[in-house]
Every structure is written in structure tokens, then in C-alpha cells.
Amino acid sequence: MKTRVLWLLLLLSVAFNLGVVGTVAYHRRGSHEEKQCATGPASSKAVLYKELQLTPEQARQMDRFRADLQKRVEGSRAEMPRLRKAFLELLASPQSDHEAISRKLAEMGRVQMQIQQAVVDHLLAEKGVLSPKQQSKFLEMLERRFQREDHQGTGAPLPLPGAAERHGEGKGR
């Protein structure tokens, strides 16, 4: 039973960290210039739009996607502190109820997965309105964000398909 709880804790931790990485990547996926000249989501958006050279229509669509994402995850994000508090209360109880802890972990995992799925859907929607050249730049920006987060210790490296080829490390090299 203890092994099962530890596995569930590990699973929740991995799910939570992936959610954090995805959410942070969404909010801060700009370039090095963004860190130097910008603060906050509005300016990161401006850097993203500038680097991708979006048309006015693409920018409108991206704004709509961003607003949709914020609405979609608002409730889940607000729910997580309550779930964490309940989880900690279960852990602090003198008579720890392993099944109750497991149920709370599962509930937290479901909410975190909802957030992660919303972020993935959002990123795919954004990618869908971009030209092939813009998509490549978009993926490079995401890759740089993940690499920065890895160096900062906030997430595991997530190599994107085609990354090796974009960096001259493809087949035959």
C-alpha cells in the first residue's frame, strides 16, 4: 500500500510539473529579447507576435485563443489551492487514511490534466493558424523556453520533433 501511495505521489508530481512547464511555456515563450525588454503577458505577446511576423488576422485569432485558454483554465487553477490544502490536511492527520490520500491525489491529477490538456489544445490551435515558416519559428521559441526552464530547474527537457534537424544534428551528421 505504501508503494502504491508513493507511485501515486510520483505520478502526481510528474503530472503537476508537466502542467507547470506547459503553463509557464505558454505565458513566457518569448525569446531572450523578451526577458531584456518586456515584463508581463502583454509584452510577451507583443514579442511573440513580432517574432512570428503575424498578420493582423493571425494576431486576432491568437488573441482569441489566449482569451479562450484563460477562461478554460480559470476554474481549474482556482481549484488547485483548495485541493492542495485538503491533501496536506490528509497528510497531517494523525491517522493517515491512505485511500483518502490516493483519492485526493487522483482528484488533483484530474484537475492538473485538465489544465495541461487546455494548454496543449491552445498551442495546437495557435500552431494551426501559422504558416509552415511561422510554425517552425513557434516551435523553436517553445524549445528555447523549455531549455531555459530546464536550466532554471523548473522542468525536464522536452525535445521537440525535428529539433535535431533544425540545429544541424540530423541524420548523417
Express each pLDDT in 1-40 by its tens digit: 666 765 655 555 656 655 655 665 555 544 444 443 334 4
Of residues 140 and 19, more confidence is placed in 140
| High-pLDDT (> 70) share of the chain, % | 62
Cell numbers representing residue 22 in the block = 506547459
Identify whether the C-beta of residue 142 lies closer than 8 Å to the C-beta of residue 52.
Answer: no
pLDDT above 80 for 124: yes
With a CB cutoff of 8 Å and minimum separation 6, the contacts of 105 are 8, 9, 11, 12, 87
Given a cut of 50, whether residue 103 has pLDDT beyond it is: yes
Q: Model-level pTM?
A: 0.61
Instruction: Return mean pLDDT, the chain.
Output: 77
- Would you give the distance in Å from CA 171 to the centre of its chain? 30
Over 80: is that where the pLDDT of 113 sits?
yes
Tell me the CA distances in angstroms from 26 to 64, 81, 92, one per residue in order. 14, 21, 34
Specify the amino acid at residue 123: L
Taking the C-alpha atoms of residue 130 and residue 49, their distance in angstroms, rounded to an integer, is: 11
pLDDT the model gives residue 148: 81
pLDDT at 37: 37
